[in-house]
Structure 1
């Protein structure tokens, strides 16, 4: 049987924290754990995913990495830049090799990329979002991340704006890094196993709807979808398909007014994420949850589902995946499960990563 996340309630403490957030699983996978619910993506889950391969057909679940185009979705993120490397002071593209005493036939191309790692189809690392939380139990909140890893100690960055943003000049050295919870921890798990499609678009169309627990359960029940511990859950909203139709010229009013989004303020929905044991939560939209979230009284997280998943549970989030062709195929064939292979870049210290996920059915 597939093991669920540990549920013991005994008092846990570590060198990094004296108390953990309510509803979190800090320490349940080990006091130094950096994988979170990826721990549930076991050999058994991989075999279950392989067993879902019936037709031997593969689907690319990545948008072209120069989509959405522009920076309407996030003003801080920009499309990738491709440039040739230099060879002998010349651009190394269609470069003809010449030998000193012999004629060469080689023509070479070599390039580099400047990437905003969370611009297009992406994974969020557990270092992507932390919270102000009193982990020391002294009444004073401090900036911490999943399993109590600390800002400025485990996740570091520059103090000056001159050391942030797009690089200026030739190849500056790195000025920030997640010494813990970086995306490489996810990459080392290979991210391959059984995934489950929840087709919100088939029931809700392109209308902007906040999806809470009741709506999600109604859709799942209607389609006979079941999520078990260790499954990776994909939410098809149709957002990425709308984005593709705009040809890298996204309109802000359309993007903020179309397709279903999860209601991160719905406590019952968050509890279902906890109880289901899902290993990762993936959507074809921006942020997975409604952004901005519904208004709430008092101080709270601006991105409550990110807080719940990344900070409390160690559940990685996938955003802006291209799910429509796969969702249509699964619906036509009366299926909801498939084998998913979706490792991020093994880029040490990164807090997010592009992905080129592959679904096999």
Structure 2
């Protein structure tokens, strides 16, 4: 298995990644104070076009269940505790009212929770999107590029690129990084073209592989894919993993997670991690269509570096 001591055969040098960062950077593109990044590719026309895709009236969740069970990919499990339950449902100080209430808490970044990364989540050499310093994220919360940039929700045309289906395999092996050429081949096989303002979901078959294999490796994308996303003016990237392969095949420690660093810090590309794309893939195959309206509503967390997420595809 690849690690920091054994470079992935597709690994790029630090110099190549630096040049790629400069190529895809959107710093200043929408002004010095912009915090929406690639979400600026979604305008009224893109939202209206997505609404026109709703024909069958079917909805599909892209989220995993709230991850309360500890495991190798969930070292800090989410908390779900009952505050008042049916065995003693009386509300203190309110005679006659019987209820049940609960508490939840979650550290949502990582490999277990379906979530969206804000643009302040990952830095590249001490800077975040639009050339703001990492020190703008304080112990009390972020001052720049927070999840509040998406406080009114993200609505647009969702596109699923089901790479294993198009390539005729059960899943993508983590030893191979999915390339832009393979994403284009997937487009051709599925009869869809990714374009401006799209919310692109890339299925690599993580969950199918997990059911068949004992290790915790997760497939990912070739860093050069970010140049393709930049050219196509994609607004959001989602996947069934975290886009970067786990374990990493990158040997240069300045670029430990290049998709995150190039996407979040360079392009201003919000990332949706750890989605469950299996039900979506089934519905897309059944209907023979790979585009749909996608609605995502991050929590309004002032200073937040992201949010748990339950994106909904609407057909």
Aligned counterpart in structure 2 of residue 106 of structure 1, from 83, 93, 97 = 97
- Determine the structure 2 residue equivalent to 1:293: 248
The yes-or-no answer on 1:96 pairing with 2:90 is yes
Q: Which runs of 5+ in 1 are unaligned?
A: 1-20, 133-142, 158-175
Aligned counterpart in structure 2 of residue 191 of structure 1, from 154, 160, 164 = 154
- Determine the structure 2 residue equivalent to 1:321: 275
TM superposition shift of 1:124:
0.7
**Distance in 1, Cα, partners of 2:87 & 2:117:** 33
Report the CA distance shift for 1:148/1:99 in structure 2 as closer, same or farther (over 3 A). closer
Aligned counterpart in structure 1 of residue 299 of structure 2, from 334, 342, 345 = 345
TM superposition shift of 1:97:
4.3
- Determine the structure 1 residue equivalent to 2:258: 304
- Determine the structure 2 residue equivalent to 1:82: 80
**Any idea what the Cα deviations from partners look like across 1:72-104, whole Å, max 9, x if unmatched?**
2264xx221122448xxxx8974324779xxx4
Runs of 4+, deviation exceeding 6 Å: none
**Distance in 2, Cα, partners of 1:25 & 1:98:** 54
TM superposition shift of 1:328:
1.6
Structure with larger Rg: 1
**Distance in 2, Cα, partners of 1:97 & 1:223:** 55
Report the CA distance shift for 1:41/1:230 in structure 2 as closer, same or farther (over 3 A). same
Determine helix, strand or coil for the equivalent of 2:22.
coil
TM superposition shift of 1:358:
0.7
TM superposition shift of 1:273:
1.2
**Distance in 2, Cα, partners of 1:353 & 1:94:** 33
**Distance in 2, Cα, partners of 1:228 & 1:214:** 16
Aligned counterpart in structure 2 of residue 146 of structure 1, from 116, 119, 129 = 129
Report the CA distance shift for 1:146/1:191 in structure 2 as closer, same or farther (over 3 A). same
TM superposition shift of 1:41:
1.6
Report the CA distance shift for 1:300/1:331 in structure 2 as closer, same or farther (over 3 A). same
TM superposition shift of 1:318:
0.5
TM superposition shift of 1:291:
2.8
The yes-or-no answer on 1:271 pairing with 2:227 is yes
**Distance in 2, Cα, partners of 1:346 & 1:182:** 10
Residue pair 1:131, 1:307 contacting (<8 A) in 2 also? yes
**Distance in 2, Cα, partners of 1:326 & 1:238:** 12
Superposition map of 1:1-361 within 5 A: 22-23=22-23, 24-66=25-67, 69-73=69-73, 75=75, 78-85=76-83, 94-97=88-91, 104-118=95-109, 119-132=112-125, 143-152=126-135, 154-157=136-139, 176-188=140-152, 190-202=153-165, 203=167, 204-208=169-173, 209-240=176-207, 253-256=214-217, 260-264=219-223, 267=224, 269-285=225-241, 287-296=242-251, 300-361=254-315
Report the CA distance shift for 1:186/1:96 in structure 2 as closer, same or farther (over 3 A). same
TM-score (norm 2): 0.84
TM superposition shift of 1:121:
0.6
TM-score (norm 1): 0.73
Residue pair 2:114, 2:272 contacting (<8 A) in 1 also? yes
Q: Which runs of 5+ in 2 are unaligned?
A: 1-20
**Distance in 2, Cα, partners of 1:360 & 1:106:** 38
Report the CA distance shift for 1:185/1:49 in structure 2 as closer, same or farther (over 3 A). same
- Determine the structure 1 residue equivalent to 2:4: none
**Any idea what the Cα deviations from partners look like across 1:121-164, whole Å, max 9, x if unmatched?**
110110110111xxxxxxxxxx2110012222x2113xxxxxxx
Residue pair 2:64, 2:114 contacting (<8 A) in 1 also? yes
